[in-house]
Every structure is written in structure tokens, then in C-alpha cells.
Chain A
Amino acid sequence: MSDAAAGLLQVGLLVACLAVAYRPLGGYMARVYTSESDLRVERGAYRLFGVDARADQTWAVYARSLIAFSAVSMFLLYILQRVQSHLPLSLGLPNVESGLAFNTAASFVANTNWQSYSPEATMGHLVQFAGLAVQNFLSAAVGITVAIAVIRGFARSKTDRLGNFWVDLTRTVLRVLLPIAVIGTLALVAMGVVQNFSGGHEVTSVVGQAQTIPGGPVASQEVIKELGTNGGGFYNANSAHPFENPNGLSNLFEIFLLLLIPVSLTRTFGLMVKDKRQGYAILGVMGTLWAAFTFAATFFEVRGNSLEGKETRFGEWASALFASSTTGTSTGAVNSAHDSFTPLGGGTALFHMMLGEVSPGGTGTGLYGMLILAVLTVFIAGLMVGRTPEYLRKKITAREMKLVSLYILTTPTVVLVGASIAMGLAVARASIFNTDSPHGFTEVLYAFTSAGNNNGSAFGGLSANTPFYNTALGIVMLLGRFLPIVLALALAGSLAKQQPVPVTQGTLPTHKALFVTMLVGVVLIVTGLTYFPALTLGPLAEGL
């Protein structure tokens, strides 16, 4: 079979699998977040933590609960790394240095999973599964709760309540993530992914060197790494490592996992706002963008005929498909070195992250990010049909626009300002490997884009485990995660209070191809215009 035929077959199979899972999972999640009854284990947890499961929260209380939860999570993760040498199952590894521990704690709590360290040489099994893996579940769940709260903002009217963060969080973990993760783990083990608590195997490499490859609970980590769009690998080589991703089938399954929830959430959205067509429209926008970027990445890689940095068992097609899906979902897992992509292929991955992780984005983050861009689009399009703009029967007034404007301002600001500071400081420039080539700048820009958009994939070529990058990227990850979350929740609160307006002939239809096209255009132009000068000096300067 030719590469192209195999590649197209993979894409087709992937889309078919997602299509099959779309309705059941989307519908299931809608029921999870609208159900009035709790599982027994949930009631136990609520009693344990003193949560009143029936208490509906305002947006501010919801946001406070979320921030407090994340702050405590980050603190615990930081402490765990700092004392790991005193704890069991640490494989004799030393305590993690404070800058790195801060960076890693921020990274995993912000669902970024940027790793400026080599995991197998830094984190023992305990930190891996009691710290990082727990955050893989929790940070993914936090993203989904925000999406659900934003959906409720559209679906509810004349109320200031958006639901209960603790209930949403608990249900996401117990009813959505855990069951899929268990099934996924079994599937991955069947495909050959490692799952044990072994300390390491001595092997002799082809050139005769002795090498120690640690084993561990890889498959269980791998599943949530993809499913929760986390991306933090068990091994430094991430999904390029044969223990994490042994073959073409596991590769396709991992891509499926990372797209699964972001895609299905559009169905949940359509069901919860009681207009399935709106969910299809949002999915249409995400799908169009994903397809376009996948096509571009594949095109540049196949044309460049570049196998450097790629696993020969995957080749250009599967590597480009993985790269496009991981940068479109804020996952950041990689099965190939993006740094070694052709300049324009790597630039495509970079630009894909710059869209703000909305195609289809991270778990939850993709949906609320896209909904915010939809509100922006509605605002401009709505004016063009001669009405005060409205989306899903809610008016977009000055207050909503203020929050939307701040939201779309946040990520470009932290990314560009961060990158600018890095390029301006000699100490930060010293980390650049490919000096005096636009590629060096692309590496820095990629790092800040990845952190600001909570992607976590790295371009390589940049020694990021330095005090500057650990601190700067840690701050960028936290700002890029929590400022938008607060703004999105505030927007949801503002929308929920409104009285819905009736739909008439004069209402802008937001489920038709015309609106989908315009939303795609706004996503591309608004983000494209912001980053175009920077991209010119990076991938474009190198690739044209």
C-alpha cells in the first residue's frame, strides 16, 4: 500500500470512529451534567468534603471554587516533587529542584503538561501516578466543568446560578474520564503498551552501549494523557517511545482518544441548549479547521520528504496527523519531533496552537474557547443584519463584549510579551540551540505559544530547564489557563441572567454554512492578524 493510501485510510478510520462515538458519548455527557441524582460513591465524597451537592453556585462562587481547588492541587503537586526522595516508589531519584517543581506543578494543573525535564530521569513512580496522573484527570475535568458552566449560561435564563463546581468536577472524573480510561488502558495494553511497576530493564543497544529503560504504569498514564488532552508523557520521547506507542494501531487509537471528548462535547452542547444544529455548527467549524491544518501539515511534510525526527513505523502521514491533532487539541503529546519538521510544517503546528486551541481544542477549553469566538463573530455578523447581536437567544451587549474582548486579548498578550522578554534577555537567548537562524526564534515563540495556549508540546532545540524558562513559562501557563477561565465564567454568568429573545426571521441563523464559514474566517483572521508579524520572522522567514 502506498503511503498516501495508508494515510488516507487512517484519516478515514479516525473520522469514522469519532462519528460512531459522537452521539453516544455526547448524549451521555449531557445526561451526566443534567442528572439530578448522585452515585453512592459521589454522595460519600460530598459528605467527606462537606459539599452541598444541591447548592447552585453563582459564576463568582463557581470561579472561586475552581481557583481554590487548582491552587491546592498545585501546592500539593509542588510539595510531592520536592520531597520525593523521602517517599516510597521514587526509584532512588532526588528531590525535584524548586524552579522545575514550580514549572511542572503549574504545567500539570493548567492542563498544559509542558515538560522541561526528562520524566524517566526526574520523576519516580509515586510522583508519576499520585501527582502527575491525578492532575491529568483533575485538570482535564476542570476544563470540562468550565465548558459545562458556559453551556448552562446559554441554556439557562433569568438566574445567576451556573451549577455546582464540586459536583461537576466529581461527575466528570467518576462518570466520564475514569470509565473511558479503564477501557482505554485495557485496549492499549492489548496493543502492546507497557503496564507494570518495574524499575528498569538493562538492554544493549545496537551500537553496543548498555542502556536502562524503566518500565512503569505506562498504559494507564498514556490513556489519560491523550483523553484529557494533557500530553505529559511517561518517557521523554513521549508518544514516539515504543513503550508508549508501539505501532500504527496504538498511534491511531491515541489520536482518537485525544479528539474524543473535545469533539463529543459539541454534541453535549447542542443537547443542553436544546438545539442540536448549534452543536453541529460548532463541530463544523472545529472540523474544518482541523482538516485544513492536517492537510497543510501533511502536505508540507510529504513534500519535504522529511523523515528526520519521525518514527519510521509512523512515517510522514501518521506523524503529521498526530502533530495536527495534538496541536489542535492542546494536548501536546508528540509522536515525532516538531522541531525537525519542515519549516512550514512546523509553522503549521505552531499556527494551529495560536488559533487558541479551538480545533477542536482541549477537553472543555476547546468548546468554551470556540463559543467565545462565536460570540465575537455573532457580534460583527449580527450588526450586519441590522439587529443588536444575539447568540443562542442571548443578547451580546457591552458587558458581554467587554469579557469577550478581554478573553481574546489574554492569550496573545501573554504569549507575545513572554516571547519578547525572552528574546530581549541574553540569559534567555542563551538557551537557543539554533542561534542566528529564524529557527531559533521559532523555538522560543513555539515554547511561549505552547505554554500560553496550554498545549505543552515542545519544539525542542531550546534548553528550557533554566530558572528563566521554568519561571516565565510557568507564569504564562497559569495566566493562559486561569484568566480565560474566569472571563468565560463571568460571561456565562452574564448570559444566564438574561431573558432570552425570541427567534424570528430577522434573527441571524447560527447553524448554517454561512455562519460556519464566517466563524472559520474570524478564527483565522483574528488570530492570524495577531501573530502574522511574529510568524513572518519565524517559520515564514525560514521556509519561504
Chain B
Amino acid sequence: MTTLTKAPAVEQPPVQKKAPSGLFDPKMLVSSLPDALRKLDPRVMVKNPVMFVVEVGAVASTVIAFTDSTVFVWWIVVWLWLTVIFANLAEAVAEGRGKAQAETLRRAKTETTARRLTDTGEEEIPAAQLQLGDLVVVEAGQIIPGDGDVVEGVASVDESAITGESAPVIRESGGDRSAVTGGTKVLSDRIVVKIMTRPGESFIDRMIALVEGAARQKTPNEIALNILLASLTIVFLIATVTLPTFATYGGVHLSVVILVALLVCLIPTTIGALLSAIGIAGMDRLVQRNVLAMSGRAVEAAGDVNTLLLDKTGTITLGNRQAAEFIPVAGVTDTELADAAQLSSLADETPEGRSIVVLAKNGYGLRERHTGELPQATFVEFTAQTRMSGVDVDGRQVRKGAAGAVSNWINSHGGTSDARLGEIVDGISASGGTPLVVAEAVGGTARALGVIHLKDVVKAGMRERFDQMRAMGIRTVMITGDNALTAKAIAEEAGVDDFLAEATPEDKMALIKKEQEGGRLVAMTGDGTNDAPALAQADVGVAMNTGTSAAKEAGNMVDLDSNPTKLIEIVEIGKQLLITRGSLTTFSIANDVAKYFAILPALFAAAYPGLDRLNIMQLHSPETAIVSAIVFNALVIVALVPLALRGVRYRPSSASAMLRRNLLVYGVGGLITPFVGIKLLDLVISLIPGLR
């Protein structure tokens, strides 16, 4: 068997994976400008109907400006183009952040050669030529040439290129830790990898495509919103194009430039400009948390999740059970029991054994002893037959183990097991814990000393998170292989809504299907091959990066950190994405009211002086009013880019509370802000010479 050697120092500096995020960097506006200008191509613009209308209006106004060359017309023309450019800029900035990450990934995917195993030996070929099912050898210091499963050997692998985590991980054949990713580096030992993906479809290729946004498709909700925005655009287009005949009757002549300005102010440019940036940024926020969503659809579905299936171990509880308490039988002191428990666990390297030593030290002040301090001691290892472990030292035998096994041992060593011992054991079992009985035999007579209470330790803060989930309307179900009694106790302690005990993969699948039949959306995490069907069935299936290829293939997200708790964050990101869209749509539509009050009196007050009473902002002149409205309309896009990229503030709460808050901020705020903004802009713009 190969032995593991300590991983050599990583040569290349740990890859800085996280692109500057969170705060919006104004410098990115400048660096994204070329991209923004490239996007002016009408073939690209037409995909965004709202902004396409603005661009068409800008072109028409520009043509007119050459014949009707006034300061006013040129101001409108310039700001119409700026409106389009700002929209493109928002998208370019959002994409730019992904490009930085893609660059890092590309570096990891350097041209590698693969050592392919053939019938006769091995040959060196470029990694790009590897086919499905090829077997390749990778040794310490070499880059793994493609995605696959380890079929032979065990090695430590540096996966920092994709996870950003510099600590090496173990990959071994068989089991759930067999998957390796192309572009990662073997640090020690030799493994044989069976290639599982076709060239160009590897994990890293998909990752690059994802973060660059190349694979981005409009998500279902984005499409629905786009339809609404397009229809609002058409309604306002009709309201605008029918206006000249109405106005002519009153003796008002409306120029094309003014009509374009009115139209651009009315159509939902704010949300139209930011919609795709919001989507890209949402995916990006997931990538920042080391989660790769294979589709935007999955991210949206995450926001809708009704039921979360969470594995108990590692997600709700710490990985292993821990000693919580020593309960002595009558006539034995706490310290005696703790001492015996510690003694019996010194050679026990299992996490449970370590936790007993730790409890003895922390709870009972017993100094930790090392096996070396007791040279004459004989340690008895745990076996499946004896179901006990312990130590023989100085003629004293100490044993700990399952209640039945230890009782038998006591009986066979001339002792009798205490009836009250049974009570303690049953009590612990009933509370969901695991009892370990400690006994000793001195001079041929055995007696029970007491019981160690091993229990699952629920991670800190889980109860609060589940309470939040409940407030958001999400039901949490704990999945565990434990018996119903144990599962119930932990479920109650952690505060989950329900549990599935003694769960097999089939049970899990049945549970998902049952939930889905009720119209619920289910999210789950998984890593093993036997999780794959359930991951595929779930609406949101998050595969752990440490898991098997089959699991990663089946899920629609991969968590590079392999942290099952992250499911909760994924749900929040999904919700935040939708909330950002809805809030900015509301803001965009609410903005129109003020623009009407700016533009309509400007257009018609000359013909109908009474309409000046609509000029409640007391704007300087018709021309400054129109310019102010169009400038505000453009600037508000830039002002909201950081919000679109960051997402609106999200705090888990009930739907009613969230609606109230967002309606107040973005609805009422959207009504008032432009009145203030347009007025302030008018004060400045009225100083411009040439504009009356």
C-alpha cells in the first residue's frame, strides 16, 4: 500500500480566487468601457428590447441633430447615447468580474501532457486528446490531465486552482472520495485516473464558461420579466406615437427629438438596463461563495425552495458524537469514573475516544496522559467481536463499550451488573444519546463504574438558522441513518421541522418525490454515488466537490468547499436575486410619475397655460425640464449599478414584512427620488448657456 508522505510546500502562491467583490469599484467602469461600446452593435442590443428602443431613438435623434442643430437637441442626443452606454456598462462590469476569475482558471488549465496507459505500457499525449474511459497515471508534482475517478492508489491533491483552498485533500480509489478534477495537482504518491469527461467538457471548462457568462441563458423568471418590460415599452411607444395628432389639434407641434426624449423617460430603462447585470451578479455571488451553479434556472429555483433536506452528520451536527457527561453508579465518584474512562480511551484514536479524554480534562481536571507514560500497560483495541476497548495496567483491567458487551464481560469476570446501570443506559438511549458503559476488574472481580454519555453535538447557531428558514416558509427535514429515537432527539435539539430516520437512498428519493407531488420544491446536498438519483430528482441538488463524479454530474450545483450548510446561503442568494429584480422594476415604474410632471407641462403649458400647475417642481424652462428628466434617467442607471451587482439588502423574514419594506424603499422611494433628483439637476442645467 502506498504511504502518504507529507505534502511538499506548494510552489505557486495560493491562487487569489475571489475577485474584488462586494464593494463596487468605480475603476471597473472605465476598464469596462470598451466592452460597453462594443455592445452598441444593434445585433447585440436587440436582445434587450427596452434598450434597443433607446438606441433606435438615439440614432434617429442624432440624424435630426445634424439638420436641427441646437444646444438643446445635442444635449438630448448625447444623453440618449449615454443612457445606452450606461446600460451596456452595467452589463460589462458584471461580466468583467467573472472574466478575472476565468483568467485564473485558464492558468490552471495549462497545456498538460497525459501519461495514458496502453496495453503495452504508457504513452505521452496532449491532455486535450484524452477520450472518455482512458486510464492515465499521475504522480507527485504532476497536473491531473482531465476529470475522472481514481481507480488505483491514493494521493494528496492540491485543488486550490478551483477551490481557492490551499490545504491539500486526499483522493483515493473506491468510495466517495474518488473524483479528481483536471487542472489540479497531485502533491504526493501515484494514482491511476479513469477519464470521465469528453475533451472540452471538463469541469474546469464549464466553470470558465459559467463565470465568463458565455453559457449564460436567460432564466425563466428573467424571460417573464422581459416580456412584461417589452409590453410596457410597447404601451408607452403607442402613448408617444399617438400624441402628435392629439397635440396638433391643440396647435402644439412636437418634434421627433422631444418625442424620443419622452419615450425614453417613460419606458422602464432603469430595470431594462440593469436586468442582465443583476442576473450575472447573482451567479457571481454564488461563485464568490465557491458554489458553481450549472444553470441560472437552479439559482432561481433555490429562491423558491419549500423543503430543505439536510444530512444530519456534518450539516446539522458536528461530524462525530462527543462525550457530554460521565454518570457514575452509586458508590463511585465522578473522578473515579472520569479517570477510568480516560484510561480506557488513551489508545482510542476515534473522534469519540478523543472526546472522552477531552471531557475528562476539561470537565474533571484530569491531566491528559499519553500512552507512552504507561509502558507496562497493554491496550485492548476495539474489535467487532468484543465491541469493547480498554487497557490492562497494574493488574487492573478497564473496559468501555456497548452496554450489552460490557455487561457480559462483568458477568464473566465474577461481577454482577447493577440494575440501576440499566436505568442510566436506557435513559441515555431514550434521550437520543449513545451510552458507553465503563467497568473495571480488580483482583478477578468486575464491577461497573458508570456510563459515558456520547451525544451528537449540534453546530452552534443552527436553531436560529432553522427559525429563520421557518419564517421564510421553508421546511427543514433532517436525514439520518440513526434510529428514530436518536433522530428525534437531535431533530428537537436542532429545531428542524421533521426528520427521516434510518434513511436509505431509496427513502430519500421517495421523500423528495412525495414533497414534489405536493408542489413543493426540494433542495438537498449529497456526495456519494448513491445520492446521485436523489440529487438529480431534487429541484436544487448541491453536490459536494469531494464527492464522486456521478454525484457532481447529477446535481445542478457544485459546492467547491464541500460545506453542506451552504445550502442555506444558496437559498438566500436565489431569493436576493429575485428581490433585486422586483425592487428595481418597482423603482423604475414608480420613477415615471415624476418624469410626467417634468415633461408634460414643458410640452404643453405654452398652449394651455393652466397646465403649468402640473409643473410642481417649478422647473426653470421647458428645455431644462426635458434635459433634466433625460439626464436623471441616465444617471439613475449608473447610480444603481452597485446595488444591482451587490443585490438589495436581504434579511430573512416573512413575505409580508419583506414586501412592506421593499415597497416602502423602492416603491415610495421610487416615487419621491426623481422629484428631488430632477429638481436638483434642473438647478444645475439651467446654468448651461444655450439652454433657455
Taking Cβ atoms with an 8 Å cutoff, the residues of A that contact B are 376, 379-388, 393, 396-398, 400-402, 404-406, 408-409, 412-413, 416-417, 419-421, 423-424, 429, 438, 440-441, 445, 499-502, 504-509, 512, 514-515, 518, 521, 525-526, 529-534, 536-538, 540-544
Contacts and interface: CB of A to CB of B under 8 A. Distances in A.
Nearest to A531: B239
B518 interface: yes
Which 10 A-B pairs have CB atoms at the shortest separation, nearest pair first? Answer: A383-B582, A506-B473, A504-B473, A386-B575, A405-B231, A505-B473, A544-B610, A420-B242, A384-B582, A541-B608
Which secondary structure dominates where chain A touches chain B? helix
Contacts of A387: 303-304, 575, 578, 655
Contacts of B247: 537
Given A506-B473, A533-B243, A388 B227 contact: no
What class of interface size applies to chain B in its complex with A?
35 or more
Contacts of B575: 386-387
Given A387-B578, A409-B231, A514-B659, A530 B236 contact: yes
Interface stretch (B117-125, B201-209, B590-598): B590-598
Contact of B245 (A413, A424, A521): A424
Nearest to B600: A536
Interface string B595-614: 01000100010011011011
Contacts of A409: 231, 234-235
Contacts of A404: 228
A526 B608 CA distance: 25
Given A509-B656, A525-B590, A530-B235, 19 more contacts: A380-B589, A383-B582, A383-B583, A384-B658, A386-B575, A388-B300, A388-B304, A402-B224, A409-B235, A420-B241, A502-B518, A507-B473, A526-B589, A529-B239, A533-B240, A533-B262, A534-B243, A536-B600, A537-B246
Contacts of B242: 416-417, 419-420, 534
Given A388-B221, A501-B519, A506-B472, A423 B248 contact: yes
B471 interface: yes
A383 B581 CA distance: 7
Nearest to B574: A386
Nearest to B607: A541
Contacts of A385: 579, 582, 655, 658-659, 662
Nearest to A441: B249
A526 B238 CA distance: 14
Interface in B618-661: 650, 654-656, 658-660
Given A499-B519, A507-B655, A525-B589, A398 B227 contact: yes
B239 A540 contact: no
A514 B221 CA distance: 23
Given A380-B585, A506-B474, A508-B659, A412 B235 contact: yes
Interface in B547-599: 574-576, 578-579, 581-583, 585-586, 589-590, 592-593, 596
Contacts of B475: 504
Contacts of A515: 659
15 contacts: A380-B589, A384-B579, A384-B582, A386-B650, A388-B304, A398-B223, A406-B231, A423-B245, A502-B518, A502-B520, A506-B472, A506-B655, A529-B266, A537-B243, A540-B611
Nearest to A401: B224
Contact of B250 (A384, A401, A405, A537): A537
B578 A388 contact: yes
Question: Which residue, A408, A423, A429, A500, has most C-beta atoms of chain B within 10 A?
Answer: A423
B614 A536 contact: yes
A383 B221 CA distance: 9
Contacts of A441: 246, 249-250
A423 B227 contact: no
A429 B655 contact: no
A544 B612 CA distance: 8
Contact of A386 (B266, B578, B613): B578
Contact of A419 (B246, B470, B583): B246
B169 interface: no
Contacts of A506: 306, 472-474, 654-655
A536 B599 CA distance: 11
B29 interface: no
B305 to A, nearest CB: 9
A420 B246 contact: yes
Contacts of B473: 504-507
Contacts of A393: 519
A507 B224 CA distance: 19
Contacts of B610: 540-544
Nearest to B251: A436
A420 B237 CA distance: 13
A384 B614 CA distance: 31
A421 B519 CA distance: 49
Interface of B: 220-221, 223-225, 227-228, 230-231, 234-236, 238-243, 245-250, 262, 266, 300, 303-304, 306, 470-475, 518-520, 574-576, 578-579, 581-583, 585-586, 589-590, 592-593, 596, 600, 604, 607-608, 610-611, 613-614, 650, 654-656, 658-660, 662-663, 666-667
B235 A383 contact: no
A538 B250 CA distance: 9
A416 B224 CA distance: 26
A423 B234 contact: no
Contacts of A544: 608, 610-611, 613-614
A433 B428 CA distance: 95
Nearest to B579: A386
Nearest to A387: B304
A505 B655 CA distance: 7
B474 A438 contact: no
Contacts of A380: 582, 585-586, 589
A423 B613 contact: no
Contacts of B574: 386
Nearest to B666: A384
A537 to B, nearest CB: 5
Contacts of A376: 228
A445 B225 CA distance: 31
A490 to B, nearest CB: 14
B3 to A, nearest CB: 51
Nearest to B590: A525
B220 to A, nearest CB: 6
Contact of B600 (A412, A438, A533): A533
Question: Which residue, A401, A440, A445, A526, has most C-beta atoms of chain B within 10 A?
Answer: A401
A350 to B, nearest CB: 14
A380 B663 CA distance: 10
A409 B229 CA distance: 12
Nearest to A376: B228
B474 A504 contact: yes
B250 to A, nearest CB: 6
B585 A423 contact: no
A396 B475 CA distance: 22
Contacts of B579: 383-386
Contacts of B238: 412-413, 416-417
Contacts of B666: 384
A243 B231 CA distance: 47
A534 B231 contact: no
B471 A438 contact: no
Given A533-B243, A541-B604, A383 B660 contact: no
A368 B575 CA distance: 30
B221 A536 contact: no
A397 B304 CA distance: 13
Contacts of B582: 380-385
Contacts of A514: 656, 659-660, 663
Contacts of A532: 596, 600
Contacts of B576: 386
B80 to A, nearest CB: 19
B671 to A, nearest CB: 9
A84 to B, nearest CB: 38
A514 B658 CA distance: 11
Nearest to B516: A499
